[in-house]
Copies of this chain bind each other. A is one copy, B any other.
Amino acid sequence: MRKIVECIPNFSEGRRTEVIDEIVAAIKTVPGAVLLDRESDADHNRSVVTFVAPPDRVIDAALAAAKKAAELIDLNDHKGEHPRMGATDVIPFVPISGVTMDDCVQLARQCGERMWRELSIPVYLYEKAATRPERENLAAIRKGQFEGIRDEIATKQARLPDFGEARVHPTAGITAVGARPPLIAYNVNLGTSDIEIANKIARAVRHLSGGLRYVKALGFELKDRGIVQVSMNMVNYEGTPLFRAFEMIKREAERYGVPVLGSEIVGLVPQSALNAVADFYLQLENFSENQILEHRLQATTEEVQE
């Protein structure tokens, strides 16, 4: 099987397109790195870049992007709705094929070590790469943002970086590097304009307030459609599959007499997350992904090529 790691660095710039152009160009200079997606949000003043690469190239590509971001972004001038602490704010490594989560944890560590050594940017390790439980959650690490961390890092033990000295980079701040499963942005639309119902259902379904372990959720208004939605991040779709969150929301909505109008996947979704949905609703017995024609084709083609 071809070894592929996905990397989704987030940059603290969502307005100057030319900056993101240069960052993306830096990624593309690394042989084997392939850009899948880029999205910028002006209100958040933040961009999310998605690329894949073989494990022995993915760190080079991430560092090339971080180097360019450090040259072009100064956090002292940055304002936006989204919390941030670094020019390159986060670098997650995600196992896609032929690599394990442990491999991605190792990649995160190597990347963090090089961030400091080559770019003088200190690093916190987060999620599966975290060195202590309180650093698993990115929001907890980033509390106080660039300015807060800058002022506390030298004096608060809990703020010490995993790599680098106890001071932020004067303009590029500090970066969280980690490993995590693929994340799915998944929203369920409700047939009501009452935002309180979306908020209540979001609280019921999300982990933070007692719901499903791998779900983050918020209520959200879709003003142009006159409806509301439960907007979710499915942070581990094997642990908490799409259909389970969907069914739970449907049941909670019934309690308010509100219909589910539909749901939507924003951005990319791994094929196996959809296959699990088909498996659940068709109540499949003994189904294996090896029965999928395209899987078999790919396996046999790779056999021939090897």
Chain A contact residues, CB within 8 Å of chain B: 4, 6, 34-37, 52, 96, 182, 189, 242-243, 246, 260-265, 267-271, 274-275, 277-278, 280-287, 291-297, 300-301, 304
Contacts A/B (CB < 8 Å), 6 sampled: A34-B304, A35-B300, A262-B285, A265-B291, A267-B291, A271-B294
Contact yes or no, B275 A34, CB < 8 A: no
Contact yes or no, B269 A300, CB < 8 A: no
Contact yes or no, B271 A271, CB < 8 A: yes
Query: How many copies of this chain does one complex carry?
Result: 2
Residue of B nearest to A35 (CB): B300
A285: B residues at CB distance < 8 A? 189, 262-264
A52: B residues at CB distance < 8 A? 297, 300
Question: In the assembly, what is the distance between CA of A271 and CA of B290, in Å?
Answer: 11
Contact yes or no, B294 A270, CB < 8 A: yes
A293: B residues at CB distance < 8 A? 6, 36, 96, 182, 268-271
A264: B residues at CB distance < 8 A? 284-287
Contact yes or no, B287 A277, CB < 8 A: no
A287: B residues at CB distance < 8 A? 264-265
Contact yes or no, B267 A300, CB < 8 A: no
Contact yes or no, B292 A270, CB < 8 A: yes
**Known pairs A36-B297, A292-B269; A243 contacts B282 (CB<8 A):** yes
A278: B residues at CB distance < 8 A? 242, 274-275, 277-278, 281
Contact yes or no, B263 A283, CB < 8 A: yes
A265: B residues at CB distance < 8 A? 284, 287, 291
Question: In the assembly, what is the distance between CA of A275 and CA of B294, in Å?
Answer: 13
A267: B residues at CB distance < 8 A? 291
Candidates B242, B268, B283; contact of A291 at CB < 8 Å = B268
Minimum CB–CB distance for A131 against chain B, Å: 29
Contact yes or no, B34 A301, CB < 8 A: yes
Contact yes or no, A300 B263, CB < 8 A: no
Which of A4, A268, A304 counts the most chain B CB atoms within 10 A?
A268
Question: In the assembly, what is the distance between CA of A297 and CA of B242, in Å?
Answer: 22
Contact yes or no, B271 A292, CB < 8 A: yes
Which of A182, A270, A271, A300 counts the most chain B CB atoms within 10 A?
A271
Residue of B nearest to A300 (CB): B34
Q: Closest 10 A-B residue pairs measured CB to CB?
A: A277-B278, A274-B278, A262-B285, A281-B281, A262-B283, A264-B285, A34-B300, A271-B294, A268-B293, A270-B293
